[in-house]
Amino acid sequence: SQTRHFHIAAIPGDGVGGEVVEAGRHVLDALAAASHGTLAFTWREFPWGSDHYARTGRMLDEDGLDQVRDFDALYFGAVGWPTVPDHVSLWGLRLRLCQGFDQWANVRPVRFPPGVTSPLRRADTAELDWVVVRENSEGEYGGFGGRNFAARGRGGEVAVQSAVFTEVGCERIIRFAFDLARTRTRRKVSSVTKSNAQQYGMVLWDEVFTRVAADYPDVATESVLVDAMAAKFVLRPEDLSVVVASNLNADILSDLGSALAGSLGLAASANLNPERRYPSMFEPVHGSAPDIAGKGVCNPIGAVGSAALMLEHFGLAAEAERVQRAIRTTCAQGVLTADVGGGATTKDVTAALIDNLAD
Ligand code: NAI
Ligand code: MG
């Protein structure tokens, strides 16, 4: 049969980014090697990140977006290192790619692998599986604002950080959440805002949510304020299926979700340009973890799960499920890194994942 061939731009970035991207590449290469020639991945690595910034004064090349525009996908590690202010590194690389390629939907599944102890007391008995859908193009990370240090000086300075909510931006992410809910066993969308306190943008979001919900009578809905949703993640997570929220709120909630599952190192994410005009980007939820970088002990599962989301995006559902199954088996076998209570190295876990790809 024919070979399906995918070209992937790997952007390891900083810190553990390099270690987890390498792990994900090994797993996908093993999948291709076992495919009897039906599947092939070609990788090209881009050395962007804080070292690149030290050498060139830029987090990514000036024509960086053009360099990766024609790839089938971007596979990203993490960005951020103590040598560069975090807002410079994040805006200079990750947000540049997400916004430049209009990756407006950030999908962050919260999964509880077997064999990993959750800090949730009831997690063992409940069937927990939900998805955070994050608006990824505007909201609190719209980048509008300013500071007037020059005019007022230290002590008197004023800073404004605006949040941007457009009707188009709200509607497309909310519709995306409803469409995703229709693919799940539990058809429910929970919308998260703080519209009691933020009376403009988030009230617009709430109104759009109500309007879009009318087009999906088969999907159950709820609107929950973000502080209450934080509590609900802990107390009634079995009641969640798809949780849609603004950029900042979903960023926070997805870290909470992955911590509840056992570790930030477990969580996967997809930054999607659903129209497929630009490449989408797949990355673990965690950052560069400077405290453990370079030691070979970081958890590769978030990055490998992100590779599985990339396979899904390529239309390779069976292969994606094979990787997800390998993750569950590896965790159930107790091959775990230190963040989830084990003694395995990144390489040990990667080797086990590859072994477990075979049925
Ligand atoms: P972080 O996610 O890097 O680390 C938080 C904690 O989780 C640390 O204790 C770390 O050791 C642990 N952790 C993270 N990933 C892990 C893994 N794969 N295995 C085991 N343990 C893991 O968040 P932090 O410390 O707030 O930020 C560090 C740097 O990363 C900063 O420069 C920040 O701006 C950047 N960052 C970048 C992101 C991205 O590129 N998407 C996302 C979040 C933070
Ligand atoms: Mg985050």
262-272 pLDDT, tens digit per residue, is 999 999 999 99
* Summary mean pLDDT of the chain: 95
**Of residues 141, 232, 278, 339, which has the active-site annotation?**
141
Nearest CA to ligand 1 atom 11: 289
Q: Is the pLDDT of residue 1 over 80?
A: no
Q: What's the pLDDT score for residue 229?
A: 98
Does the pLDDT of residue 66 top 70, yes or no? yes
pLDDT of amino acid 42 = 98
Among residues of the chain, what percentage have pLDDT more than 70? 98
Phi, psi of 312 (to 5 degrees): -60, -45
Least confident of 48-62, 119-133, 167-181: 119-133
**Active site includes 102?**
no
Determine the Cα–Cα distance for residues 226 and 251; give it in Å rounded to an integer: 12
| Amino acid in position 308 | A
Closest alpha carbon to 226 in 241, 201, 207, 248? 248
* Average pLDDT for 77-96: 94
Contact by Cβ (8 Å): 311, 320? yes
Does the active-site annotation cover 188?
A: no
Categorize the per-residue pLDDT at 358 as very low, low, confident or very high, splitting at 50, 70 and 90: confident
Of 264, 295, 336, which is best to mutate to test ligand 1, by the most ligand atoms within 8 angstroms of its C-beta? 264
Q: What does the H/E/C string look like for 156-210? A: CCCEEEEEECCHHHHHHHHHHHHHHHHCCCCCEEEEEECCCCCCCHHHHHHHHHH
Query: Which residue is closest in CA terms to ligand 1's atom 10?
Result: 289
Domain architecture of the chain: domains with CATH: 1-106+267-359 (3.40.718.10), 118-261 (3.40.718.10)
- Residue 148 to residues 1, 91, 152, 160, Cα–Cα distance (Å): 63, 20, 6, 9
Ligand nearest to the CA of residue 94, numbered in listed order: 1
Whether the CB of 298 sits within 6 Å of ligand 1: yes
What three-state secondary structure class fits 21?
helix
Residue 63 appears among annotated catalytic residues: no
Instruction: Please say if the pLDDT value at position 26 is more than 70.
Output: yes
State the catalytic residue, choosing from 53, 194, 232, 348. 194
Say which ligand is closest to the CA of 18: 1
- Cβ pair 200, 165 in contact under 8 A: yes
Global pTM reads: 0.96
Q: Ligand 1: which of 11, 93, 281, 288 to mutate, most ligand atoms within 8 Å of CB?
A: 288
Dig out the tokens for 27 from the structure: 């797993």
pLDDT at position 121: 78
Report CA(156)–ligand 2 centroid distance (Å): 31
Mean pLDDT of all residues in 83-96 = 93
Tokens at 175, concatenated? 């519709």
- The answer to whether 39 and 246 have CB atoms below 8 angstroms apart is no
Return the number of other C-beta atoms located less than 10 Å from residue 276's C-beta. Answer: 10
109-113 contacts at long range (C-beta below 8 A, 24 or more positions apart): 109/267, 109/268, 109/305, 109/309, 110/254, 110/257, 110/258, 110/260, 110/261, 110/267, 111/261, 111/266, 111/305, 112/260, 112/261, 112/262, 113/261, 113/262, 113/266, 113/301, 113/327, 113/328, 113/331, 113/332
